[in-house]
Amino acid sequence: MKIEGEVMFLRSRRLREGTAIRDLVRETELSVKDFIFPIFVVEGQGIKREISSIPNNYHYSIDQLEGVIKEVTEAGVAGVIIFGIPNTKDHIGSSAFDDNGIVQRAVRRIKELNKELFVITDVCMCQYTSHGHCGVLKEWKVDNDASLEYIAKIALSHGKAGADMVAPSDMMDGRVQAIRSVLDENHLTHVGIMSYSAKYASAFYGPFREAASSAPQSGDRKSYQMDPGNRREALKEIEADIQEGADIVMVKPALSYLDIIREGRNMIKVPLAAYSVSGEYVMIKAAAKAGLVNEKSIALETLISIKRAGADIIITYYALEAAKWLRER
Protein backbone atom coordinates (compact mmCIF):
# COMPACT_ATOMS: atom_id res chain seq x y z
CA MET A 1 0.00 0.00 0.00
CA LYS A 2 1.38 3.38 -1.02
CA ILE A 3 1.06 6.16 1.53
CA GLU A 4 0.12 9.53 0.05
CA GLY A 5 3.20 11.65 -0.52
CA GLU A 6 5.55 8.69 -0.25
CA VAL A 7 7.89 8.08 -3.19
CA MET A 8 7.84 4.42 -4.30
CA PHE A 9 11.33 3.06 -4.81
CA LEU A 10 12.31 1.05 -7.87
CA ARG A 11 12.08 -2.74 -7.46
CA SER A 12 14.63 -3.84 -10.05
CA ARG A 13 15.06 -7.21 -8.37
CA ARG A 14 11.75 -8.43 -9.80
CA LEU A 15 13.57 -8.85 -13.11
CA ARG A 16 16.37 -10.87 -11.48
CA GLU A 17 14.27 -13.38 -9.52
CA GLY A 18 14.98 -16.45 -11.64
CA THR A 19 16.86 -17.79 -14.64
CA ALA A 20 13.93 -17.47 -17.03
CA ILE A 21 13.29 -13.78 -16.40
CA ARG A 22 17.01 -12.97 -16.41
CA ASP A 23 17.30 -14.66 -19.81
CA LEU A 24 14.29 -12.76 -21.13
CA VAL A 25 15.59 -9.31 -20.20
CA ARG A 26 19.31 -9.82 -20.87
CA GLU A 27 20.48 -6.95 -23.06
CA THR A 28 23.66 -8.49 -24.50
CA GLU A 29 24.23 -12.09 -25.60
CA LEU A 30 27.46 -13.73 -26.70
CA SER A 31 27.44 -15.96 -29.76
CA VAL A 32 30.11 -18.06 -31.44
CA LYS A 33 29.29 -16.00 -34.54
CA ASP A 34 30.85 -13.00 -32.77
CA PHE A 35 34.30 -14.60 -32.74
CA ILE A 36 37.31 -14.60 -35.03
CA PHE A 37 40.09 -17.05 -34.12
CA PRO A 38 43.77 -16.14 -34.70
CA ILE A 39 45.94 -18.82 -36.33
CA PHE A 40 49.75 -18.70 -36.51
CA VAL A 41 51.26 -20.48 -39.52
CA VAL A 42 54.94 -21.44 -39.81
CA GLU A 43 57.19 -22.98 -42.42
CA GLY A 44 58.04 -26.67 -42.17
CA GLN A 45 56.13 -29.93 -41.96
CA GLY A 46 54.37 -31.85 -39.24
CA ILE A 47 54.39 -28.90 -36.85
CA LYS A 48 51.73 -28.35 -34.23
CA ARG A 49 53.68 -26.68 -31.44
CA GLU A 50 52.12 -24.94 -28.46
CA ILE A 51 53.10 -21.28 -28.24
CA SER A 52 54.85 -20.90 -24.90
CA SER A 53 53.70 -17.30 -24.46
CA ILE A 54 50.05 -17.98 -25.45
CA PRO A 55 48.95 -21.25 -23.80
CA ASN A 56 46.53 -23.52 -25.67
CA ASN A 57 47.35 -21.78 -28.97
CA TYR A 58 49.72 -23.26 -31.53
CA HIS A 59 52.10 -22.75 -34.39
CA TYR A 60 50.88 -24.82 -37.34
CA SER A 61 52.69 -25.84 -40.46
CA ILE A 62 50.46 -25.81 -43.52
CA ASP A 63 50.10 -29.61 -43.57
CA GLN A 64 48.70 -29.44 -40.02
CA LEU A 65 45.99 -26.86 -40.69
CA GLU A 66 43.30 -29.44 -41.36
CA GLY A 67 42.85 -30.24 -37.67
CA VAL A 68 42.43 -26.68 -36.46
CA ILE A 69 40.18 -25.72 -39.37
CA LYS A 70 37.98 -28.70 -38.50
CA GLU A 71 37.86 -27.49 -34.88
CA VAL A 72 36.91 -23.96 -35.96
CA THR A 73 34.23 -25.26 -38.33
CA GLU A 74 32.70 -27.65 -35.80
CA ALA A 75 32.70 -24.93 -33.14
CA GLY A 76 30.72 -22.66 -35.45
CA VAL A 77 33.24 -19.82 -35.11
CA ALA A 78 32.63 -17.19 -37.79
CA GLY A 79 36.14 -16.98 -39.22
CA VAL A 80 39.88 -16.92 -38.74
CA ILE A 81 42.65 -14.35 -39.01
CA ILE A 82 45.98 -15.63 -40.31
CA PHE A 83 49.42 -14.56 -39.08
CA GLY A 84 52.47 -15.89 -40.91
CA ILE A 85 55.95 -16.48 -39.50
CA PRO A 86 58.46 -16.77 -42.38
CA ASN A 87 61.86 -18.44 -42.45
CA THR A 88 63.59 -15.48 -44.09
CA LYS A 89 63.53 -11.76 -43.40
CA ASP A 90 65.00 -8.72 -45.15
CA HIS A 91 64.87 -4.94 -44.94
CA ILE A 92 61.69 -4.64 -47.06
CA GLY A 93 59.89 -7.77 -45.87
CA SER A 94 59.83 -9.26 -49.37
CA SER A 95 58.54 -12.65 -48.19
CA ALA A 96 55.36 -10.90 -47.06
CA PHE A 97 54.28 -10.19 -50.64
CA ASP A 98 55.65 -13.36 -52.20
CA ASP A 99 52.77 -15.12 -54.00
CA ASN A 100 54.15 -18.37 -52.60
CA GLY A 101 54.68 -16.97 -49.11
CA ILE A 102 53.55 -18.57 -45.88
CA VAL A 103 50.26 -16.66 -45.55
CA GLN A 104 49.41 -17.00 -49.23
CA ARG A 105 49.86 -20.78 -49.15
CA ALA A 106 47.95 -21.02 -45.87
CA VAL A 107 44.98 -19.15 -47.35
CA ARG A 108 44.87 -21.43 -50.37
CA ARG A 109 45.00 -24.51 -48.13
CA ILE A 110 42.27 -23.26 -45.81
CA LYS A 111 40.01 -22.53 -48.75
CA GLU A 112 40.61 -26.09 -50.00
CA LEU A 113 39.58 -27.41 -46.59
CA ASN A 114 36.52 -25.18 -46.17
CA LYS A 115 35.71 -22.70 -48.90
CA GLU A 116 32.88 -21.22 -46.81
CA LEU A 117 35.05 -20.28 -43.82
CA PHE A 118 35.67 -16.53 -43.71
CA VAL A 119 39.42 -15.95 -43.96
CA ILE A 120 41.03 -12.67 -42.90
CA THR A 121 44.75 -12.02 -43.26
CA ASP A 122 46.86 -9.73 -41.12
CA VAL A 123 48.68 -7.27 -43.39
CA CYS A 124 51.88 -5.97 -41.87
CA MET A 125 55.64 -6.10 -42.31
CA CYS A 126 56.98 -6.58 -38.78
CA GLN A 127 57.25 -10.40 -38.91
CA TYR A 128 58.98 -10.18 -42.29
CA THR A 129 61.48 -7.34 -41.86
CA SER A 130 64.97 -7.85 -40.47
CA HIS A 131 64.51 -4.75 -38.29
CA GLY A 132 61.08 -5.76 -36.95
CA HIS A 133 59.27 -2.51 -37.79
CA CYS A 134 55.92 -2.27 -39.56
CA GLY A 135 57.26 -0.33 -42.55
CA VAL A 136 60.45 0.38 -44.44
CA LEU A 137 63.16 2.39 -42.74
CA LYS A 138 64.86 5.54 -43.93
CA GLU A 139 67.67 6.75 -41.72
CA TRP A 140 66.31 4.47 -38.97
CA LYS A 141 62.87 6.02 -39.09
CA VAL A 142 59.78 4.38 -40.57
CA ASP A 143 59.07 6.05 -43.91
CA ASN A 144 55.29 6.28 -44.08
CA ASP A 145 54.79 6.95 -47.79
CA ALA A 146 57.45 4.52 -48.98
CA SER A 147 55.87 1.83 -46.81
CA LEU A 148 52.46 2.20 -48.48
CA GLU A 149 53.69 0.56 -51.68
CA TYR A 150 54.78 -2.56 -49.80
CA ILE A 151 51.70 -2.71 -47.58
CA ALA A 152 49.51 -2.55 -50.70
CA LYS A 153 51.58 -5.30 -52.39
CA ILE A 154 51.10 -7.56 -49.38
CA ALA A 155 47.34 -7.00 -49.37
CA LEU A 156 47.14 -7.65 -53.11
CA SER A 157 49.02 -10.95 -52.78
CA HIS A 158 46.64 -12.05 -50.02
CA GLY A 159 43.61 -11.13 -52.10
CA LYS A 160 44.95 -13.07 -55.08
CA ALA A 161 45.49 -16.09 -52.81
CA GLY A 162 41.81 -16.10 -51.88
CA ALA A 163 41.51 -14.07 -48.67
CA ASP A 164 38.01 -12.77 -48.06
CA MET A 165 39.28 -9.74 -46.17
CA VAL A 166 42.63 -8.11 -45.47
CA ALA A 167 43.43 -6.45 -42.16
CA PRO A 168 46.21 -3.83 -42.25
CA SER A 169 47.77 -3.53 -38.80
CA ASP A 170 50.76 -1.33 -39.64
CA MET A 171 49.20 2.05 -38.72
CA MET A 172 50.72 3.89 -41.69
CA ASP A 173 48.73 6.97 -42.70
CA GLY A 174 46.88 6.38 -45.98
CA ARG A 175 47.22 2.60 -46.02
CA VAL A 176 43.51 1.86 -46.41
CA GLN A 177 43.26 4.07 -49.48
CA ALA A 178 46.39 2.49 -50.97
CA ILE A 179 45.06 -1.02 -50.38
CA ARG A 180 41.57 -0.28 -51.68
CA SER A 181 43.02 1.24 -54.84
CA VAL A 182 45.33 -1.67 -55.65
CA LEU A 183 42.65 -4.27 -54.94
CA ASP A 184 40.15 -2.50 -57.17
CA GLU A 185 42.69 -2.00 -59.95
CA ASN A 186 43.29 -5.76 -59.93
CA HIS A 187 39.59 -6.69 -60.06
CA LEU A 188 39.46 -7.71 -56.40
CA THR A 189 36.58 -5.42 -55.50
CA HIS A 190 35.00 -8.25 -53.48
CA VAL A 191 37.91 -8.38 -51.01
CA GLY A 192 37.06 -6.40 -47.90
CA ILE A 193 39.25 -4.34 -45.58
CA MET A 194 39.17 -4.61 -41.80
CA SER A 195 41.43 -1.82 -40.66
CA TYR A 196 43.26 -1.76 -37.34
CA SER A 197 42.07 1.82 -37.04
CA ALA A 198 42.70 2.57 -33.38
CA LYS A 199 45.74 0.45 -32.60
CA TYR A 200 47.49 1.59 -29.47
CA ALA A 201 51.18 1.29 -28.57
CA SER A 202 50.30 -1.18 -25.85
CA ALA A 203 52.23 -3.28 -23.36
CA PHE A 204 49.55 -5.96 -23.80
CA TYR A 205 51.17 -7.20 -27.05
CA GLY A 206 54.17 -8.87 -25.41
CA PRO A 207 53.08 -12.53 -25.72
CA PHE A 208 52.09 -12.04 -29.38
CA ARG A 209 55.43 -10.54 -30.31
CA GLU A 210 57.17 -13.62 -28.94
CA ALA A 211 54.74 -15.89 -30.81
CA ALA A 212 55.21 -14.04 -34.11
CA SER A 213 58.91 -13.16 -33.70
CA SER A 214 57.91 -9.58 -34.46
CA ALA A 215 59.52 -7.41 -31.80
CA PRO A 216 61.43 -4.40 -33.21
CA GLN A 217 65.20 -4.80 -33.15
CA SER A 218 65.67 -1.18 -32.13
CA GLY A 219 63.43 1.55 -30.79
CA ASP A 220 59.69 1.11 -30.42
CA ARG A 221 56.48 1.66 -32.39
CA LYS A 222 55.28 4.79 -30.66
CA SER A 223 55.83 6.94 -33.76
CA TYR A 224 53.07 5.08 -35.61
CA GLN A 225 50.92 3.28 -33.04
CA MET A 226 48.69 5.42 -30.85
CA ASP A 227 49.36 6.93 -27.43
CA PRO A 228 47.26 5.07 -24.80
CA GLY A 229 46.22 8.42 -23.34
CA ASN A 230 44.45 9.59 -26.50
CA ARG A 231 40.71 9.26 -27.07
CA ARG A 232 39.84 11.91 -29.66
CA GLU A 233 42.69 10.75 -31.88
CA ALA A 234 41.15 7.26 -32.02
CA LEU A 235 37.86 8.66 -33.30
CA LYS A 236 39.75 10.67 -35.92
CA GLU A 237 41.62 7.55 -37.07
CA ILE A 238 38.40 5.53 -37.29
CA GLU A 239 36.67 8.22 -39.31
CA ALA A 240 39.64 8.59 -41.68
CA ASP A 241 39.80 4.84 -42.36
CA ILE A 242 36.10 4.73 -43.20
CA GLN A 243 36.52 7.63 -45.61
CA GLU A 244 39.44 5.79 -47.26
CA GLY A 245 37.34 2.66 -47.79
CA ALA A 246 37.48 0.45 -44.70
CA ASP A 247 34.54 -1.96 -44.49
CA ILE A 248 35.16 -2.76 -40.83
CA VAL A 249 37.19 -0.78 -38.29
CA MET A 250 38.98 -2.20 -35.28
CA VAL A 251 40.03 -1.14 -31.81
CA LYS A 252 43.09 -2.90 -30.36
CA PRO A 253 43.55 -3.83 -27.51
CA ALA A 254 39.99 -4.33 -26.26
CA LEU A 255 39.68 -4.61 -22.50
CA SER A 256 41.57 -1.44 -21.53
CA TYR A 257 39.91 0.50 -24.37
CA LEU A 258 36.21 -0.22 -23.84
CA ASP A 259 35.56 3.53 -23.79
CA ILE A 260 37.00 3.80 -27.32
CA ILE A 261 34.85 0.89 -28.51
CA ARG A 262 31.73 2.56 -27.11
CA GLU A 263 32.51 5.99 -28.53
CA GLY A 264 33.39 4.48 -31.89
CA ARG A 265 30.16 2.48 -31.93
CA ASN A 266 28.15 5.61 -31.16
CA MET A 267 29.86 7.56 -33.95
CA ILE A 268 29.87 5.16 -36.90
CA LYS A 269 27.53 2.97 -38.91
CA VAL A 270 30.02 0.38 -40.21
CA PRO A 271 30.78 -2.79 -38.19
CA LEU A 272 33.31 -2.44 -35.39
CA ALA A 273 35.74 -5.17 -34.36
CA ALA A 274 37.77 -5.42 -31.18
CA TYR A 275 40.94 -7.45 -30.77
CA SER A 276 41.19 -9.01 -27.32
CA VAL A 277 44.94 -9.31 -27.43
CA SER A 278 47.43 -11.84 -26.11
CA GLY A 279 48.19 -9.96 -22.90
CA GLU A 280 44.51 -9.92 -21.95
CA TYR A 281 44.27 -13.64 -22.62
CA VAL A 282 47.38 -14.73 -20.71
CA MET A 283 46.50 -12.67 -17.63
CA ILE A 284 43.32 -14.70 -17.24
CA LYS A 285 45.17 -17.94 -18.00
CA ALA A 286 47.83 -17.15 -15.40
CA ALA A 287 45.31 -16.18 -12.73
CA ALA A 288 43.28 -19.32 -13.41
CA LYS A 289 46.38 -21.52 -13.26
CA ALA A 290 47.20 -19.99 -9.87
CA GLY A 291 43.69 -20.84 -8.67
CA LEU A 292 42.76 -17.20 -8.19
CA VAL A 293 39.80 -17.00 -10.61
CA ASN A 294 37.27 -19.23 -12.36
CA GLU A 295 38.61 -19.17 -15.91
CA LYS A 296 35.36 -19.92 -17.70
CA SER A 297 33.38 -17.30 -15.79
CA ILE A 298 35.92 -14.51 -16.06
CA ALA A 299 36.73 -15.18 -19.73
CA LEU A 300 33.06 -15.08 -20.73
CA GLU A 301 32.48 -11.98 -18.59
CA THR A 302 35.40 -10.28 -20.32
CA LEU A 303 34.09 -11.17 -23.78
CA ILE A 304 30.56 -10.01 -23.03
CA SER A 305 31.94 -6.70 -21.69
CA ILE A 306 33.64 -6.15 -25.05
CA LYS A 307 30.41 -6.87 -26.91
CA ARG A 308 28.36 -4.75 -24.50
CA ALA A 309 30.73 -1.85 -25.12
CA GLY A 310 29.74 -2.00 -28.79
CA ALA A 311 31.93 -4.51 -30.63
CA ASP A 312 30.19 -6.43 -33.40
CA ILE A 313 33.17 -8.76 -33.87
CA ILE A 314 35.66 -10.03 -31.29
CA ILE A 315 39.05 -11.43 -32.29
CA THR A 316 39.99 -13.67 -29.39
CA TYR A 317 42.35 -16.50 -28.49
CA TYR A 318 39.46 -17.83 -26.41
CA ALA A 319 37.25 -18.39 -29.47
CA LEU A 320 37.32 -22.20 -29.43
CA GLU A 321 37.12 -22.51 -25.64
CA ALA A 322 34.37 -19.90 -25.42
CA ALA A 323 32.40 -21.70 -28.13
CA LYS A 324 32.51 -24.87 -26.03
CA TRP A 325 31.47 -23.03 -22.87
CA LEU A 326 28.55 -21.36 -24.63
CA ARG A 327 27.30 -24.74 -25.85
CA GLU A 328 27.40 -26.05 -22.28
CA ARG A 329 25.11 -23.35 -20.96
For residue 85, tell me if it sits in a domain.
Answer: yes
Q: What pLDDT score does 105 carry?
A: 98
For residue 89, tell me if it sits in a domain.
Answer: yes
Q: Domain span at residue 298? A: 29-328
For residue 302, tell me if it sits in a domain.
Answer: yes
Query: Tens of pLDDT along 173-198?
Result: 999 999 999 999 999 999 999 999 99
Query: Tens of pLDDT along 274-289?
Result: 999 999 999 999 999 9
For residue 24, tell me if it sits in a domain.
Answer: no
Q: What pLDDT score does 208 carry?
A: 86
Residues labelled as active-site residues: 199, 252
For residue 13, tell me if it sits in a domain.
Answer: no
User: Given a cut of 80, is residue 256 above it in pLDDT?
Assistant: yes
For residue 34, tell me if it sits in a domain.
Answer: yes
For residue 53, tell me if it sits in a domain.
Answer: yes
Q: What is the CATH number of the domain that holds 158?
A: 3.20.20.70
Q: How many domains does the chain have?
A: 1
Q: What pLDDT score does 8 carry?
A: 81
Query: Tens of pLDDT along 40-94?
Result: 999 999 999 999 999 999 999 999 999 999 999 999 999 999 999 999 988 888 8
For residue 50, tell me if it sits in a domain.
Answer: yes
Burial group, residue 139, by CB count within 10 angstroms (0-12, 13-18, 19+)? exposed
User: Given a cut of 80, is residue 302 above it in pLDDT?
Assistant: yes
Cα distance between residue 179 and residue 57, in whole Å: 30
Cα distance between residue 321 and residue 316, in whole Å: 10
